[in-house]
Structure 1
Amino acid sequence: MISRWTVVADRDDLTKTEVLHDELPALADGEMLLRVSRVGLTANNVTYGVIGDMIGYWNFFPAGGPGQGVIPLWGLADVVESTVDALPAGTRVYGYLPMASHLVVRPRLTSAGFVDASDHRAELPAVYNSYLVTTQDPAYDERLEDLQVLYRPLFLTSFLLADRLVDNDFHGARTVVISSASSKTAFGTAQRLRGAGVRVVGLTSARNVEFTKGLGLYDTVLPYDASVDVEPSVYLDFSGSDEVRSALHDRLGSDLVKDISIGLTHQAASQDVRSEFFFAPDQLRKRTADWGSEGLAQRFGEAWRGFTAQAGEWVAVVQHSGPEELVGVWQAVLAGRAKPDSADVITF
């Protein structure tokens, strides 16, 4: 039997983690075993844990005891055992993976790869159940695997969020204000809004102002205690800070035409009634219906190539290896010690 390890976290206290070791079950007909190879870990993964019960993120990879769960990651994995002829051992895939060495899936083939049709994932959002075979993925580049596992899931959110704003003519706003502006999903959104006809203002902590200005993606970068100009504005909240939200509402009043929550870097799951939550799969479904799967893939692929042409210059990739270093990175991200000018990739 093949042994595996899994990192589980306390759902009520994400700092409490444990590395579990056990044996993998024998594969049933129609199942396949993936060996996790390379993953990225960012504040986005913290959001999965903070709102895990609200959205169902804890349900993707059930493991551990009562009150424990597995944080999802995005990354690359290799098929090491398969009962599916079309997906033999050696096939490399990109998709939603657990904090673990292995994952058993029940693939249902698609034109670009497969969907995990395991019973426990049947009612979960389809975008998280889809896996791309790298040889069939037009956006895959072997030389850019680190950027793919770090940025691609974040940039997909950026792409869809910016698209939703454009699709709604920015709700009549002339300015888009973005908090946690040094975070990767935030500056990916700013990159997509360049040249879209709105002014993009980034809010960040004082220590990150220079880095954020150096990205060259925002028209204006301000520390959180500065005042924004009063004009019709959309607020994109990547921080989850009640203090920042309240200050903007007090400052802008009725000129704050839309308040949208995306991330929760402050690790609070409460949802302010003044804000609406952006769930990327909703916009993904809309654009799949509008453009078709191939049309969406083409548009995203073009945007992704434009982004990766610049992203390597903004952030240095820090390499880690194994479950212990994975836990160390997780604890650093939770504690807010992650630096905006670096990003963490873990290989197993």
Structure 2
Amino acid sequence: MTDADQRLMTRKADLGDTLKAPIPDHGPLAEGEVLLALDRFSLTTNNITYAAYGDAIGYWKVFPTGRDDYGLMPVWGFADVAASRAEGIEVGARVFGYFPMTDTLLVQAEKVSRGGFADASPWRKAVPDIYNRYVLCAADRHYDPALENSEAIFRPLFVTSYTAVDFLRNAGFFGAKRIVVSSASSKTAYGAAWCLEQDDIEVVALTGERNRAFVESLGCYDAVHGYDAVESLPADVPTLYLDLAGDPGLRRRVHARFGDLLTYDCLVGSTQGDAFPQPDPELVGPRPVFFFAATCLDQHRERGTLHAFYERFLADQKTFFSRVIDPASPWIRIVEHQGLDAAADVVRALADGASDPAEGAVVRIAR
């Protein structure tokens, strides 16, 4: 079934429930507008985090639906310029960026350069600038068409892993000697563990029993424990909590276990939560602090260090990609799904925690 002129919306009250519906007619392109035809995008638990934090951080505002009950869950992927009335952006150009799950996206191009452009649509101001920029692949010397699936999956995740570890490292890991990582099977979590391999700090994984064998097979954690073992974790050194699960009950248990030895709670994601954390009066120890990779990138831009950061990041990302898809012992297998109807099934599995951590899901728009 074709996805022509269709979009896949997410019900805010149940993040696994989706609705395929027509895209409203935008009429002829105005001066400066560009029509992007989405080709492929990734779906991971990161997208569930976008939806879970949709109201708190503004992700639901980025691609308005005109409805209160349904939003457009953001995804990262590749598109082609289908039509353009913006100088410097040619029809047929390949771009990478932030999209809704939709056949096409109309953007108002600004800050056009050889390397890309930004969407100046007023609703895009709800989030930091990094979410609104589109990279022109022809000008990206790191772009490789053969790695599009890997890039769609890992580029938005690894930049979070990488900047989070940078932040923690620059803070001396808040005095911790051990990092406990929840939702350790998630791609952002094991990306962070990979980044920490050369640091003198112990990295301990927390995961569900269903995913334990996968997490152990990665070899990037010093120890792997199930969620049922939180109360028996060693509590003998200062410890930092790197939280990808976003589960308030699990957070309470971790805090209670480490007590005064817990030096910092870095909240990165919400693979097991369905809303932004609220203040918890029963929580022992430091309050969770949300880590926002986009803020770190904006700070680099303000300091004039963004180019140097990206040079370092992209070199390390290439090494990470090579490890993840190493034919001899790949950490994941990439599976392509065809069309928005298939995307709906992937979203349901991700929201229900039923997806396979060893699979990287990429959706191709059906035309």
What's the TM-score once normalised by structure 2's chain length?
Answer: 0.91
Q: Which residue of structure 2 aligns with residue 247 of structure 1? A: 253
Q: Which residue of structure 1 aligns with residue 234 of structure 2? A: 229
Quick check: 1:4–1:24 contact (8 Å CA) kept in 2?
no
Q: Which residue of structure 2 aligns with residue 172 of structure 1? A: 175
Following superposition of structure 1 onto structure 2, how do residues 298-337 of structure 1 map, counting pairs within 5 Å? 298-312=311-325, 313-337=330-354
SS for the counterpart of 2:228 is: coil
Aligned residues: 347
1:117-143 deviation digits (Å, cap 9, x = unpaired): 112223431110011111122332111
1:8-31 deviation digits (Å, cap 9, x = unpaired): 122222233211114442110100
Q: Which residue of structure 1 aligns with residue 284 of structure 2? A: none
Segment of structure 1 superposing worse, 10-19 or 332-341:
10-19
Tell me how far apart the structure 1 counterparts of residues 279 and 141 of structure 2 sit (CA, whole Å).
39
Unaligned runs of 5+ in 1: none
Following superposition of structure 1 onto structure 2, how do residues 137-152 of structure 1 map, counting pairs within 5 Å? 137-152=140-155
State the 1:297 CA deviation. Answer: 1.4
Q: Which residue of structure 2 aligns with residue 159 of structure 1? A: 162
**Structure with bigger RCO (C-alpha 8 Å, 6+ apart):** 2
Question: Which of these residues, 187, 190, 193, is aligned with residue 193 of structure 2?
Answer: 190
RMSD over aligned CA atoms reads 1.6
What's the TM-score once normalised by structure 1's chain length?
Answer: 0.96
1:183-229 deviation digits (Å, cap 9, x = unpaired): 00000011111111111111111222221111111111111122222
Quick check: 1:72–1:97 contact (8 Å CA) kept in 2?
yes
> Structure 1 runs of 4+ off > 4 angstroms?
none
Quick check: 2:16–2:350 contact (8 Å CA) kept in 1?
no
Identity over the aligned pairs, expressed in percent? 37
Tell me how far apart the structure 1 counterparts of residues 22 and 197 of structure 2 sit (CA, whole Å).
47
Quick check: 2:331–2:358 contact (8 Å CA) kept in 1?
yes
State the 1:106 CA deviation. Answer: 1.1
1:303-324 deviation digits (Å, cap 9, x = unpaired): 1111101111100111111111
Tell me how far apart the structure 2 counterparts of residues 147 and 272 of structure 1 sit (CA, whole Å).
37
Question: Which of these residues, 54, 57, 82, is aligned with residue 55 of structure 1?
Answer: 57
AA aligned to 1:209 is R
Quick check: 1:288–1:296 contact (8 Å CA) kept in 2?
no
Segment of structure 1 superposing worse, 14-23 or 52-61:
14-23
State the 1:41 CA deviation. Answer: 0.3
Tell me how far apart the structure 2 counterparts of residues 85 and 155 of structure 1 sit (CA, whole Å).
32
Unaligned runs of 5+ in 2: 281-286
Segment of structure 1 superposing worse, 221-230 or 263-272:
263-272
Q: Which residue of structure 1 aligns with residue 97 of structure 2? A: 95
1:149-196 deviation digits (Å, cap 9, x = unpaired): 111101010011000011101011111110000100000011111111
AA aligned to 2:262 is L
Following superposition of structure 1 onto structure 2, how do residues 255-294 of structure 1 map, counting pairs within 5 Å? 255-269=261-275, 270-273=277-280, 274-290=287-303, 292-294=305-307
Question: Which of these residues, 112, 115, 121, is aligned with residue 112 of structure 1?
Answer: 115
Quick check: 1:139–1:304 contact (8 Å CA) kept in 2?
no
